[in-house]
C-alpha cells in the first residue's frame, strides 16, 4: 500500500502540473505520513544525498558551459564547420550538425547548444532558402550530442544515481560516451543529407580549400581544446573528474575573456546567474530524489518492475526494448536530471540482471533522455529551437521522422551492440 501511495501521488502531482522536484518531494512526504515514519527521515535523506564531494563537478561544468555560451565560441565553430562541409548538398544543414556537435563538446549542454548554435544557424539557413522546419530539426537533434560529451554534467548525475547499485566511475562513463557521440553525429549527418536530397536543396558554393579549413580550425581550436584537456588530464591522472570541471571553468574564462576577448562584464554576470539557477535546480532534484530513491529501494520497486517485465518475456532483447520504451515515455514529461535520478535505481538492476554493463546502460539512459528533450510536452530543446525559427511545434513534428529514425538507430545500436560503448573503457582499463 505504501508503494501505491508513493507512485500514485507522484503521478497525480505531475498530471496536475506540479513541478517535478516538488512532485517527488511531496510524494515522499505522503508516503512517510502514511507509513508512520518520522518526517525528518525525508530531510535526512535529502541532505545526505547532496553531501557528496563529486557534486562539485556539476556547478563547475554548468558554469563552464554558460561561459562558452555567452563568450562567443559559437561563431568560430560555425566558420570551421562551414569551411569543412558547407559545400556538400544541404551544406548549411551539414555544417549545422558538425557545429552543434563541436559546440556540444565544449558546452556539455543540449539547451546551451540550441540557444547558441540555433541563434546563428537557424536564421542563416532560412535566409539561404532552407525550410524553417528543416533548420529547427537539424539544430535540435544535433544539439542532443552535447549530453554525451565529456563536459556534460549529466554524466556526473548518472554516476551518482548508481550509488549502492553498481560501481561506475566518471572516467569509464566519459570514455563509454565518446563512440556513441560520434555514431549519433554520423546518424544526424545522414538524416540531414537525406532530407536535403529529398527536398532538392542546392549545394552552396565550392570547397574553399584545405587552407581555409585550417585557418578556421585554428580560430576555433582554443575553445575546442577543453575536451582534450579534460580527457588527457583524467586519463593521465593529473586531476580527478571533479578537478577537471574546475579546470574547464578556468579554461573557459581564459579563452573567452583573454584569447577571444568576447566575454564582457554583463555577459559574465548572466553566465554566473544562469549557472547558479541551474545548479540550484539540479541539486534540489538530487536531494529530493535521494529520499524518493530510498523509498523505492525500501518497497522493492526494481524487483517488482523486473517481475512485471518477466511476465512479458525473459528474453534479454525484449527486456532491453521494454526498458528503452519506458525510459522514452518517462523522458517525454520528466526533466532529464529527474529521469536519470528516478529511473536509474529502477531499471539499472534489471538491465544488469540480463547482462548489460552499467556503463552501457548509462549511455542508453542518456540517449533516451536526449530523445525526451526533443519530444513534447517537455521537449525544452525543441521549444527553444521553434522559438528561434519562428515556427510551431506542430509544424516541426510533421517532418521529424527522419531525424527521430536516426536517433532511434543510434539508440538500438548502442543497446544491442555493447562494443560501441564498452570498447574504449576496456582499452584504457
- Please report the pLDDT score of residue 307 as a whole number: 77
Residue 5 lies in a domain: no
DSSP string, 221-284: HHHHHHHHHHHHHHHHTSS-HHHHHHHHHHHHHIIIIIIS----HHHHHHHHHHHHHHHHHHHH
pLDDT at 136 over 70: yes
Q: Is there a domain that residue 32 lies in?
A: no
For residue 99, tell me if it sits in a domain. Answer: yes
Answer yes or no: is pLDDT of 244 > 90: no
The residue range of the domain holding 384 is 38-427
Distances (CA, A) of 259 to 214, 252, 263, 281: 18, 10, 10, 32
Cell of 157: 548525475
State mean pLDDT over 331-351.
81
pLDDT digits (tens, 9 = 90+) for 58-91: 788 888 878 887 887 888 888 888 888 877 777 7
Mean residue pLDDT of the chain comes to: 83
User: Looking at the domain assignment, is residue 11 inside a domain?
Assistant: no
Per-residue pLDDT band for 6 (boundaries 50, 70, 90) equals confident
User: CB neighbours (10 Å) of residue 387?
Assistant: 15
**Burial zone of 324 (CB within 10 Å; 0-12 exposed, 13-18 middle, 19+ buried):** buried
Residue 23 located in a structural domain: no
pLDDT for the residue 309: 79
H or E element in which residue 25 lies = helix 20-35
* Residues 6+ away with beta carbon under 8 Å from 303: 349
Q: What whole-number distance in Å separates Cα of residue 412 and Cα of residue 42?
A: 38
Q: What is the SS3 assignment for 316-329? A: HHHHHHHHHHHHHH
Number of domains observed in the structure of the chain: 1
**Residue 17 counted as domain residue:** no
Is 25 a member of any domain?
Answer: no
**Is pLDDT at 409 greater than 70 in this prediction?**
yes
Grid coordinates given for 175: 570514455
Confidence check: pLDDT of 299 > 80: no
- What's the average model confidence in pLDDT over 296-309? 72
Amino acid at each position: 500500500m505504501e508503494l501505491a501511495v508513493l507512485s500514485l501521488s507522484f503521478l497525480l502531482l505531475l498530471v496536475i502540473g506540479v513541478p517535478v522536484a516538488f512532485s517527488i518531494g511531496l510524494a515522499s512526504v505522503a508516503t512517510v505520513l502514511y507509513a508512520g515514519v518520522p518526517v525528518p527521515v525525508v530531510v535526512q535523506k535529502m541532505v545526505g544525498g547532496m553531501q557528496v564531494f563529486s557534486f562539485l563537478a556539476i556547478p563547475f561544468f554548468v558554469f563552464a558551459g554558460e561561459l562558452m555560451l555567452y563568450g562567443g565560441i559559437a561563431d568560430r565553430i560555425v566558420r570551421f564547420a562551414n569551411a569543412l562541409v558547407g559545400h556538400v548538398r544541404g551544406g548549411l544543414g551539414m555544417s549545422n550538425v558538425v557545429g552543434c556537435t563541436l559546440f556540444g563538446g565544449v558546452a556539455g549542454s543540449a539547451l546551451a547548444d540550441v540557444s547558441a548554435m540555433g541563434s546563428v544557424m537557424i536564421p542563416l539557413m532560412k535566409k539561404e532558402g532552407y525550410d524553417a522546419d528543416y533548420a529547427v530539426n537539424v539544430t535540435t537533434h544535433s544539439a542532443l550530442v552535447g549530453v554525451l560529451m565529456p563536459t556534460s554534467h549529466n554524466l556526473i548525475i548518472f554516476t551518482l544515481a548508481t550509488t549502492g547499485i553498481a560501481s561506475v566511475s566518471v572516467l569509464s562513463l566519459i570514455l563509454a560516451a565518446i563512440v556513441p557521440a560520434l555514431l549519433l553525429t554520423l546518424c544526424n549527418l545522414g538524416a540531414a543529407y537525406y532530407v536535403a536530397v529529398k527536398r532538392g536543396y542546392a549545394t552552396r558554393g565550392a570547397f574553399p580549400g584545405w587552407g581555409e579549413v585550417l585557418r578556421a580550425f585554428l580560430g576555433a581550436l582554443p575553445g575546442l581544446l577543453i575536451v582534450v584537456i579534460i580527457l588527457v588530464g583524467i586519463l593521465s591522472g593529473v586531476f580527478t573528474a571533479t578537478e577537471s570541471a574546475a579546470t574547464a571553468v578556468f579554461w573557459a574564462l581564459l579563452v573567452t575573456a583573454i584569447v577571444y576577448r568576447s566575454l564582457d562584464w554583463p555577459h559574465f554576470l548572466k553566465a554566473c546567474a544562469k549557472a547558479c539557477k541551474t545548479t540550484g535546480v539540479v541539486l534540489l532534484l538530487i536531494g529530493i530524489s535521494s529520499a524518493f530513491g530510498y523509498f523505492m529501494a525500501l518497497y522493492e520497486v526494481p524487483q517488482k518492475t523486473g517481475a512485471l517485465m518477466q511476465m512479458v518475456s525473459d528474453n534479454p532483447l525484449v527486456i532491453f526494448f521494454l526498458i528503452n520504451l519506458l525510459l522514452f515515455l518517462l523522458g517525454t514529461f520528466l526533466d532529464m536530471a529527474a529521469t536519470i535520478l528516478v529511473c536509474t535505481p529502477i531499471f539499472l538492476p534489471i538491465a544488469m540482471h540480463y547482462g548489460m554493463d552499467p556503463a552501457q546502460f548509462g549511455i542508453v539512459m542518456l540517449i533516451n533522455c536526449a530523445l525526451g528533450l526533443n519530444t513534447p510536452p517537455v521537449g525544452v530543446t525543441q521549444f527553444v529551437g521553434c522559438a528561434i525559427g519562428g515556427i510551431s511545434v506542430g509544424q516541426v513534428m510533421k517532418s521529424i521522422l527522419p531525424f527521430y529514425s536516426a536517433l532511434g538507430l543510434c539508440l538500438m545500436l548502442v543497446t544491442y551492440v555493447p562494443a560501441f560503448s564498452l570498447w574504449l573503457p576496456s582499452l584504457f582499463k
